């Protein structure tokens, strides 16, 4: 083996260079991504929702809801009855013979959960019967009526935009603040019960319970 051959075999193989990502390419990927990221407007911030709820002074009333409501999945509240161990809740359409299968609950409230929801532009009625430990009626039933309506266009648009920037329990709190600004007490209560149902130990649970107590909705003072 001559020297030239030996030298060629000992020479390390050249590794092709790895092409570097150019700054232009990097910017071309990152800038469009950042441009598409929507920052949550202050209008839909948790801070504003808290401020609205802290200052909200709705009129306490039970049973509720009454009148017109916007929520598809409302919360129902009624007065606690001394001696009652549970309550039988029924919901139906006004002028209809059918009632939804009675639901028994130990607390003086009931929340319509997904997938259930109420139809728009229909009038509903509900009845609550208190039951003692043996299942016998206690006192007179509590009853109420309300109509589920679509929000006016401006409010509907605000709600639709809120759903773009908040999800889950956060959305419930943001919507509660929006309804507080609109003076819709029953919808505020529904959103706060939805928040507590999803996040009972959430950072805003105390605020939610305080507002519900202020509205006379069967929650102890927080």
Q: Domain residue spans in the chain?
A: 43-214
pTM: 0.80
Mean model confidence pLDDT for the chain: 86
Q: Which CATH class is domain 43-214?
A: mainly beta
pLDDT score recorded for residue 3: 42
User: Per-residue pLDDT tens for 36-60?
Assistant: 445 778 999 999 999 999 999 988 8
Q: For residue 28, what pLDDT is reported?
A: 55
What is the Cα gyration radius of the chain? Answer: 29
Contacts of 118 (CB under 8 A, 6+ apart): 71, 72, 73, 74, 112, 124, 148
Placement of tokens 């030239």 in the chain: 4
Token pair of 219 as six digits: 């929650």
Return the number of other C-beta atoms located less than 10 Å from residue 184's C-beta: 23
Query: Is-contact 183 154, C-beta < 8 A?
Result: no
Contact between 220 and 209 under an 8 Å Cβ cutoff? The reply is yes
- For the stretch 57-78, what's the b/e string if a residue is b when 16 or more beta carbons lie within 10 angstroms of its beta carbon? ebeebbbbbeeebbbebbbbbb
Q: Are 125 and 92 in contact (CB under 8 A)?
A: yes
Mean of the pLDDT values across residues 184-188? Answer: 97
CA separation for the pair 164, 53 (Å, rounded): 21
Residue 197 has pLDDT above 50, yes or no: yes
């Amino acid at each position: 083996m001559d020297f030239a051959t030996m030298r060629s075999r000992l020479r390390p193989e050249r590794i092709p260079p790895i092409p570097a990502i150019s700054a232009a390419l990097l910017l071309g990927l990152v800038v469009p991504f950042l441009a598409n990221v929507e920052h949550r407007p202050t209008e839909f911030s948790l801070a504003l929702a808290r401020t609205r709820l802290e200052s909200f002074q709705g009129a306490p009333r039970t049973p509720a809801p009454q009148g017109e409501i916007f929520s598809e999945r409302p919360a129902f509240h009624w007065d606690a009855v001394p001696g009652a161990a549970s309550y039988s809740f029924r919901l139906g359409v006004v002028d209809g013979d059918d009632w939804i299968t009675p639901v028994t609950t130990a607390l003086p409230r009931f929340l319509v959960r997904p997938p259930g929801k109420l139809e728009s532009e229909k009038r509903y009625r509900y009845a609550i019967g208190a039951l003692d430990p043996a299942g016998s009626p206690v006192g007179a039933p509590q009853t109420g009526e309300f109509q589920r309506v679509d929000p006016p266009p401006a409010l509907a648009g605000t709600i639709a935009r809120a759903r773009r920037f908040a999800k889950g329990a956060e959305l419930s709190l943001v919507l509660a603040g929006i309804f507080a600004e609109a003076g819709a007490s029953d919808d505020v209560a529904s959103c706060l019960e939805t928040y507590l149902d999803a996040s009972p130990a959430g950072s805003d649970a105390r605020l939610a319970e305080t507002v519900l107590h202020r509205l006379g909705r069967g929650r102890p003072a927080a």
